[in-house]
Structure 1
Amino acid sequence: MKMDNETNRHPCSSLLSRNSAVLDNVPESSVSDSESSVRGSGAEKLESFTDGLIRVDEEEAVHSVIKEGFTSGLGQFGQRTEVAAIHRRIWSIFSAQANLQAFRIYFRAFADKHGGNANVKYAWFGTSKEVVKRIMFHGFGDEEIRENDGLFGRGVYLSPDDSPLETVKSSVVDEDGVRRVLLCRVLLGKMEVISPGSDQSNPSSEEFDSAVDNLQSPNKYIVWSTNINTHILPEYVVSFKAPPGLKESLWAETRIKRPTSPWMPFPALICVLSKFLPPYALDLINKHHKDFKEKRISRCQLIQQVRQLAGDKLLIAVIKSCRRKGIKHRVWEA
């Protein structure tokens, strides 16, 4: 089944997008469903979660495309990441057929609505072994919505196919050191930009269908809660072992480097930001600060949330202003 749009291609698109012809073959009912999902006698632990899935042979072209697309998107961590297995969804199962048929209906509707371009993308979703099983049989639910930080409204957040690093943060390691991410096809239609702190749960108007944090360089696709099982089509599961310290390194990369110049206390920072930010953003900053004080989130996570809500430009301007005024306190000192 072909559900891609040539008008949707970009000359610098990711490896997965460039090889979409390999991935696009979603049959009415998989002729290979009768195959055993276990291809080797030593894979029992990896196969323990695979009801509704079939293992992709390493000799298949799709295995190489997905593996290379995933590891290349991990940058410096890619060469040290071991892809243990890739599984494909079995389409003859009732729940998979229901998901597929709903996706097809909306795909055609979006194509009609937007002049032939339904804007279908590949995207990653990080999760746990248990949630993979639940999503494959019952679809996405409130738990997946609650698991994100809610910063960009109420929905499921997915990472673009060329940026799996964000999704790796959400993946959960199992007892054997294996993590899992879903590779999904996502029906985006016309996207609107959502600002941090939004409590939006559906499109702002009939013009839009989904949301994104940044149109030019997206880190998150937001599929609204009402559409999570009609606009998201999970197709593959990538099981992998990440190099030691990967998750910690990802969080460390988001930290603001402490300036060598004067800093200021966190309450003073909030006071200054209150002159520029809307109330909802300040409420969220105060909430994250409280969570940090109660040790619910790390200092690194607090700083990341403040950066997303206030923006680096404003924070830099505030710090420079304090420097000019000769404030001798420390910034981020909560």
Structure 2
Amino acid sequence: MELTFPHQDEDDSVVSDCESGVSGSGVVVAPPPPPPQQQQRGFFVRLGEGDVVHDLIKTRFIRGLGMLGPKTEVVSVRRNACSDVVSQARLHSFHAHARAVARLRGGGNHANVKYAWYRTNGEDDVNDIVSQGFGFAHGPKLVLSPDDAPLQSARGCGVGKDGVRHALLCRVILGRSEIVRDNTEHCYPSCEEYDSGVDSFSGPTKYIIWSNRMNTHVLPAYVVSFRVSSFKGMEKSEEEPLRPTSPWMPFPTLISALSKVLPPCDIALISKFYKDKKDKKILRHELIQRVREIAGDKLLVAAIKSYRDNKKKPSFLQSRSKNGLATRIK
């Protein structure tokens, strides 16, 4: 079931309180002031407890985390205020692209606009995305989670020193989707017939938006700030990262192995993220998340398995020694 809000009209392709800032003629007008129970700070209006939209998003988010839901505290739900001219222009552009995709794919509701979650690296990343849009640092494609399955995006969120993570709830123009495998080498649709990618038609857990459409087909609408008591396999804080306990291989060796199968643009991006990690610009789990999105889990597992298998093979002298054939050099 798709996330809908009480004020949503069935024919409305984009649902956001900041839509009131764009008139039917396309003229940008000032949005109305927030109600007393909502507090605006920076790019966002904070929704208070008891607000219908706040409670709906909070409930949906907690429920979508499954067994981790009871361990999760939602600190705040904030709405993109769209209060400046640039934000209004982005909103108007999103509407225009939704209409264009709908016409291109047969009219009606064929723009296929959905809500979806996107993981962020922290408060600064949230502000950068809302003010500047998505950029090179976000990779050759955006991977978002359906609104009823936020776990993957929540796990990928960077954690601040206060233990708070931030996930964006976005409106996404999917249009006509194609199946995209985890180990895809593509940075763009397979042909002009498709607008986005999914990992499954029947029960998608990933929405893929390509880099050339990430700033026209994705509109950040809300940000959910939350704490979770534990995420297995993730850093607990910026100060005390967990040590890897799963199979691993030296990162330069991994890059070398991936360079044999991935396009140069992907390798350049992975190398950049690795350098950012060494320069302490990003955390280890952020590096891993980026590499997983670019290379795909299947390819990474195969590369690590091949590395470990080669490490287990005895050397020539070791083999001869075991057979009693090695000679001692005097």
Is TM more than 0.5 here?
Answer: yes
Out of 223, 228, 241, which is 2:227 matched to? 241
Which residue number in structure 2 is paired with residue 124 of structure 1?
Answer: 117
Give the unaligned 5+ runs of structure 1: 1-12, 40-46, 259-264, 329-334
Residue identity matched to 2:184: S
Q: How does 1:70-149 map to 2 (within 5 A)?
A: 70-115=61-106, 116=108, 117-127=110-120, 128-136=122-130, 138-142=131-135, 145-147=136-138
Indicate if the aligned counterparts of 2:155 and 2:231 stay in contact, CA closer than 8 A.
Answer: no
Indicate if the aligned counterparts of 1:281 and 1:309 stay in contact, CA closer than 8 A.
Answer: no
User: Matches of 1:257 and 1:52 in 2, distance apart?
Assistant: 40
After alignment, is 17-26 or 193-202 more displaced?
Answer: 17-26
Which residue number in structure 1 is paired with residue 43 of structure 2?
Answer: 52
Q: Which has the larger radius of gyration?
A: 2
Indicate if the aligned counterparts of 1:159 and 1:166 stay in contact, CA closer than 8 A.
Answer: yes
Cα-Cα RMSD: 4.6
Are residues 240 and 60 of structure 1, via their aligned partners in 2, closer, same or farther at CA, if it must alter by over 3 Å? same
How many residue pairs are counted as aligned between the two chains? Answer: 277
Which residue number in structure 1 is paired with residue 297 of structure 2?
Answer: 308
User: Matches of 1:168 and 1:130 in 2, distance apart?
Assistant: 17
Which residue number in structure 1 is paired with residue 318 of structure 2?
Answer: none
Which residue number in structure 2 is paired with residue 62 of structure 1?
Answer: 53
Are residues 281 and 309 of structure 1, via their aligned partners in 2, closer, same or farther at CA, if it must alter by over 3 Å? farther
Q: Cα distance, 1:34 vs. partner?
A: 5.2
- Residue aligned with 1:78, SS: helix
Indicate if the aligned counterparts of 1:196 and 1:281 stay in contact, CA closer than 8 A.
Answer: no
User: Matches of 1:36 and 1:61 in 2, distance apart?
Assistant: 14
Residue identity matched to 1:207: E
Which residue number in structure 2 is paired with residue 210 of structure 1?
Answer: 196
- Residue aligned with 2:54, SS: helix
Give the unaligned 5+ runs of structure 2: 9-14, 22-29, 237-243, 315-330
Indicate if the aligned counterparts of 2:5 and 2:53 stay in contact, CA closer than 8 A.
Answer: no
User: Matches of 1:308 and 1:218 in 2, distance apart?
Assistant: 16
Which residue number in structure 1 is paired with residue 20 of structure 2?
Answer: 28
Identity of aligned residues (%): 32
Which residue number in structure 2 is paired with residue 262 of structure 1?
Answer: none
What whole-Å deviation, never above 9, does each CA across 1:278-301 have from its counterpart, x for those lacking one? x6269999xx9xx99xx98989x6
TM-score (norm 1): 0.65
Q: Cα distance, 1:96 vs. partner?
A: 1.7
